Amino acid sequence: MADLLTLARIDELTALLNRYNQEYYELDAPSVPDVQYDRLMRELQQLEAEYPDLQAPDSPTLRVGGKAITAFSQVTHEQPMLSLDNVFNAEEFASFANRINERLGTTNPIQYACEPKLDGLAVSIVYENGILVRAATRGDGRVGENITANVKTIKNIPLRLSGEGWPQWLEVRGEVFIPKQGFLALNDRQKEKGQKTFANPRNAAAGSLRQLDPKITAKRPLAFYTYSTGLVQGERESLPASHSERLQQLGRWGLPLCPESTTAESTDACQNYFSYIGQQRNDLPYDIDGVVFKVDDLRLQERLGFVAKAPRWAIAAKFPAQEEMTKLLAVDFQVGRTGSITPVARLEPVFVGGVTVSNATLHNQDEIDRLGVMLGDTVVVRRAGDVIPQIVSVVQAERPLSVTAIEFPTTCPDCNSPVARVLDEAVARCTGGLVCSAQQKQAIIHFASRKAFNIDGLGDKVVEQLVDAKLISNTADLFGLTIPELISLDRFASKSAVKLINAIEKAKATTFAKFIYALGIREVGEATAHNLALHFKDLESLQTASIDALQEVDDVGEVVAQHVQAFFANNANLNVVERLVQAGVHWPAIEVIDSDSLPLNGQTCVITGTLSSMGRSDAKVILQSLGAKVAGSVSAKTDFLVAGERAGSKLSKANDLGVSIWDEEAMLAFFAEHDKA
């Protein structure tokens, strides 16, 4: 028999989960990350399994989604739209697969349909005699909202099926979502209008789909992928007997399918697919939070049946959470090489995105204000792939009375110079310039980095030692260092001193593009430095270039042109540049080449996947030197795609568009043929 504490915990979990369900499904404004919801749901499931008599008839464990909102008319689904049970590791998936085999009384491998678990909004779309006649949200699984007018505005959903042989009544089910690029563009438009931005693509998709005015929905970059069928009646032609083949048939009738969907012949193959999609996750054009596995044979699905709210023949294998909840303990302010003041949140350590996170960026004062975050708050922190962790929201329900405001500094935390914020810029900057040792250190670290002068042995700690010991204050001072000066530093032996001096000497031979990049001019990255070098050919021409002349360079707009001109108008910067040249820094002259003679002139390419022989940025520079324009996404205008290992959706799209594919070996052979290896 349950004690009073258990009864109270079940009541508390039920209330919390019902509230979170309403926030997520009905209000499109979740206050906690999915991982916290899943954690509480599993706890309630375990308690109800131990004390089944305490499971309420309306327990959240028996529900699928939320109630239909009253702004739309309601639709009763002919077949319930159920949710999926989750597994969170290989052992739990193996248990699921074993249960499948046991229920079917077989030890033979089962074929599974595999598809990314899209992070959007589940919908049902009905075609009658091939015409779209109704669309509805999942709602609570039995009753949803009628969103027909809005769904008709989604560009990749056919209003009339293609081909022939479709059933008289065909219900298809799938996910409405917003692709990542569309989401970024949508938020940019929201900012321009002074309107609230969306926290993530899922919220944006749900909010867009529930607009009362379809004209607003039509302006949102919504997309749809089909993942199953519901009720099918009056079949003119028998549908295939497997899930995967049925999807292919839907595709032939014009319904969009997720290109990453496939089949797996065994549980090992399922695990391999899960790992593969996990590796591709950050490169996919849409957000996912796991993989869905379904028994492919529809007759076996029928034999396996359902539990209360989920099919026995399908499971959602979830990825490690990219969002977690933790406490904001403090905020430090770091100074960058251009004087930018960046607030860095110090967090109670939390495991998220595969690593333990204790710091996260807060970007700037505007972001602090937008979040409404305060010291002592419980916050949601997000880490996706190699992206720097960031705070995405505050859990207002967890805010203690002891929270205090975050005070942005008015003076530099390093040199005490005033902090200023330029009109129309979000970033506040230290005005100390080279007086500020933090800026000195960051500028020198950038100068010595792999993509700039690539000085082996000159890492962050060594730079900090050299600046703190007042042996250097700018990049030109590096070339005057001596072995005795280095040996005077802590943990610097003669051997390491000689090695560093030799590395500095070797770094004098560089390229004009790397020299420009190493100077650390604001907003001048590798590609822009490369374009500036090719256009101006020599240092004097670049130093004396006008704003108009600078804007003639590919990818250089007015803002970047102003930064370049301002850099070379500064006498302190000119002095450093002159001293670098006097110290022996040099590069080969850039030949004047007729662009028409370049082998890739006029061609557009895209690089995807991992290259083993060089970094993608290095390959990009070489391709540009051969005349190619290197774009970030595949389109009908792409001439060829360079595909490294683990190439994902860009490769699929290139194949669909008939774009020429180069593997790394073909690229290197082309470089060698044109003496660029």
Helix (H, G, I), strand (E, B) or coil at 307: coil
Query: Could you report how far apart the first and last alpha carbons of the chain are, in Å?
Result: 75
pLDDT in tens, 327-371: 999 999 999 888 889 999 999 998 887 788 899 989 888 889 989
Lowest-pLDDT choice from 54-63, 102-111, 205-214: 54-63
Dist. CA 65–CA 59, nearest whole Å? 12
pLDDT in tens, 38-50: 888 889 888 888 8
Q: What percent of the chain has pLDDT over 90?
A: 43
pLDDT in tens, 244-287: 999 999 999 999 999 999 999 999 999 999 999 988 888 888 98
- Average pLDDT, integer, range 299-315: 89
Cβ within 8 Å of residue 440, ≥6 positions away: 434, 467, 472, 473, 474
Residue 427 confidence (pLDDT) above 80: yes
Bigger pLDDT: 217 vs 422? 217
Banded pLDDT at 67 (limits 50, 70, 90):
low
Residue 189 confidence (pLDDT) above 90: no
CA 540 from chain center: how many Å? 41
**Catalytic (active site) residue 117:** yes
Dist. CA 69–CA 22, nearest whole Å? 10
Stretch (H or E) spanning 263: strand 262-264
Dist. CA 554–CA 364, nearest whole Å? 30
The pLDDT of residue 63 is 60
Q: Identify residue 560 by its one-letter amino acid code.
A: V
Residue 233 confidence (pLDDT) above 60: yes
- DSSP assigned state of 25: I
Residue 617 confidence (pLDDT) above 60: yes
The pLDDT of residue 356 is 87
The pLDDT of residue 405 is 94
Instruction: Tell which residue, 610, 603, 651, 666, has the closest CA to residue 630.
Output: 603
The pLDDT of residue 416 is 85
β-strand pairing of 629-631 with 604-608: parallel
Banded pLDDT at 237 (limits 50, 70, 90):
low
The pLDDT of residue 70 is 60
The pLDDT of residue 34 is 80
- Average pLDDT, integer, range 15-20: 84
Residue 549 confidence (pLDDT) above 90: yes
pLDDT in tens, 655-666: 888 899 999 899
β-strand pairing of 604-608 with 640-643: parallel
Residues shown for the chain: 677
The pLDDT of residue 291 is 95
The pLDDT of residue 376 is 95
pLDDT in tens, 511-544: 999 999 999 888 888 888 988 998 899 999 999 9
- Average pLDDT, integer, range 431-455: 87
pLDDT in tens, 619-667: 887 898 888 888 878 888 899 999 987 777 788 788 888 899 999 899 9
Give the mean pLDDT of the chain.
87
Residue 64 confidence (pLDDT) above 60: no
| Domains of the chain, earliest start first | 4-63 (1.10.287.610), 76-318 (3.30.470.30), 323-421 (2.40.50.140), 433-506 (1.10.150.20), 512-582 (1.10.150.20), 595-673 (3.40.50.10190)
Residue 66 confidence (pLDDT) above 60: no
Residue 98 confidence (pLDDT) above 90: yes
Among the options 67, 117, 327, 637, which is catalytic? 117
The pLDDT of residue 281 is 85
Inter-residue contact 382 to 389 (CB < 8 Å) = yes
The pLDDT of residue 572 is 82
Residue 387 confidence (pLDDT) above 70: no
Measuring CA to CA, how many Å separate 609 from each of 196, 362, 555, 603, 642?
35, 30, 24, 20, 8
pLDDT in tens, 589-601: 887 667 778 899 8
φ, ψ of residue 505 to 5 degrees: the values are -60, -45
Dist. CA 113–CA 240, nearest whole Å? 14
CA 91 from chain center: how many Å? 28
φ, ψ of residue 665 to 5 degrees: the values are -60, -40
